[in-house]
Amino acid sequence: MNNKTKGKLHRSRLQALLAGAALFAGLGLVATSANASIVGTVGGVPTGADHYETFDSIASGSHSGSYTTPSGIVVTFAGEGSAVNGAESGRYAAPFLSGDNGLNFGGQPDGADATTYLTSGAAGSSVTLALVGPTRYMGLLWGSVDSYNTLTFYNGSTLVGQFTGADVTSAANGDQGENGTYYVNINLSDSFTSVVATSSSYAFEFDNVAFSASPLSVPEPGTVGIFLLGLLLLGSAYRLKGRRLS
């Protein structure tokens, strides 16, 4: 094999290696962006949070506007979205605390939430939480979980995730007692800056939001390791092929 032919072969191997690396990197990004975890537990507690918000600084009955909480969350109500207390038949019911999961939120006792909480109202209404910065984690006390309750995550104006009550529990039937309220921990691989609560019928009620305001971490070592392993395997395969062609 002459030098000219060898040069072409080496360039071909290099181009194939680079193309394979790009493909592998693309697959890694797609897999990472698709990763999401939502875990709801009756009596559960926040995990990995450094901020805890009760919304008690918003007066019960507040609606139609924006309110900044002590944790820095900007709460915006649209339509029937509002801050409420107690219950109103057919419209909203208080979430239910259990397992001492009110300890991080001012020591709220177990039982029906006696403090201010937020409700989305029905179709066409919403509650939006604008966070203090990008994060990948949020927890919330999700009351009387219904399959038609929806929580949507955005990074700026970009949609990065969406969950319904059916993702929390298969028994998402609006149970207003202890077994119908779940503390839900949500982790996304993509960062988000705001969250919107909506419901196609009455209502999405929630309280006691926890989130992490710590700086976002670099890519997980496992993800980087898999990517580098892929490059090494591709390189080894092309070296072996080169020996066979020589």
71 pLDDT above the threshold of 70: yes
Instruction: For residue range 114-129, list pLDDT tens digits in order.
Output: 999 999 999 999 999 9
Domain count of the chain? Answer: 2
Mean pLDDT of 39-56: 96
Range of the domain at 225: 219-246
Both 51 and 141 in one domain: the answer is yes
| CB contact at 8 A, 33 and 26 | no
Q: What is the pLDDT of residue 21?
A: 37
| pTM assigned to the model | 0.75
Both 165 and 237 in one domain: the answer is no
Q: What is the pLDDT of residue 51?
A: 95
Mean pLDDT of 215-239: 46
Residue 20 within a domain: no
The maximal CA–CA distance of the chain, rounded, in angstroms, is 87
The contacts of residue 223 (CB under 8 Å, 6+ apart) are: 28, 32
Both 172 and 50 in one domain: the answer is yes
- Please give the Cα distance from 231 to 28 (Å, whole number): 12
Both 169 and 146 in one domain: the answer is yes
